[in-house]
Amino acid sequence: MKRAIIIGATSGIGREVALKLLDEGWRLGIAGRREKELRELQLAAPELISFRVLDITKEDAPQRLLELIELTGGMDLFLQSSGIGDQNRELEPDIELRTIETNGVGFTRMVTAAFRYFREHGGGHLAVISSIAGTKGLGSAPAYSATKRFQNTYIEALAQLAHIKHLDIHFTDIRPGFVDTAILKGDKRYPMQMNPKQVAKHIVHALNHHKRVVVIDKRYAILVFFWRLIPRRIWERMTI
């Protein structure tokens, strides 16, 4: 039985991916900050789901990850789904620093722990949910777009490191567009906003086929292709 560890499974994309993998017969280890939500998800299949309360901004998170892996009986797939994002046009320092602490420091803490585990256990599949926001610097969410770019580059570097060390580790960088989750707070309806269940379906397909980088969905893949072509001097004068 294949075994997946999902960090950030209490809600949104992480939860929907967990349910989809469960339908496909995976054994799951789920983690997040909210015990109530983890217990509720475990009830879907108590014999197939283990959980551990875990906060990626805390130094004990890697140890808790190892404990969850042991409860699950091993780890074939690691999915880093947890993260935060806020619009911050007023550039409130607390928002920027909290985003960096979670999406930068916390992200690094978890993916390096997963990398070390796979290195020591003969390989595996390391996947992360980043965002198309990493493609360009967004004035409405500076720290969010910057940390997503960091995640893209960090996974690229780990993939190269695995090759240098001849490790059998596969990497998948999942870059969704706007998804109807808690990150998109407020009443505003974003263009081409997607349902988490549909996004999870695309993600699981990408994971099953070991895709290296996947933009979800095709509409956003086209969008990203064209906005990459926008010269910096023009981009910096656009209202995004």
Given 144, 154, 190, 220, which residue is catalytic?
A: 144
Which two structure tokens, joined as six digits, stand for 134? 């990493």
| Phi, psi for residue 89 in degrees, rounded to 5 | -65, -25
Q: Taking a C-beta distance cutoff of 8 angstroms, is the pair 126, 78 a contact?
A: yes
Q: Taking a C-beta distance cutoff of 8 angstroms, is the pair 16, 179 a contact?
A: no
Q: Taking a C-beta distance cutoff of 8 angstroms, is the pair 195, 145 a contact?
A: no
Q: Is residue 144 flagged as an active site residue?
A: yes
In 3D space, the residue among 97, 93, 78 whose CA is nearest the CA of residue 29 turns out to be: 78
Which two structure tokens, joined as six digits, stand for 73? 């009986």
Which two structure tokens, joined as six digits, stand for 64? 């808790």
Question: In degrees, to the nearest 5, what angle opens at C-alpha 128 toward C-alphas 126 and 133?
Answer: 150
Give the whole-angstrom CA distance, residue 238 versus residue 197: 32
Largest CA distance in the chain: 56
Catalytic residues: 144
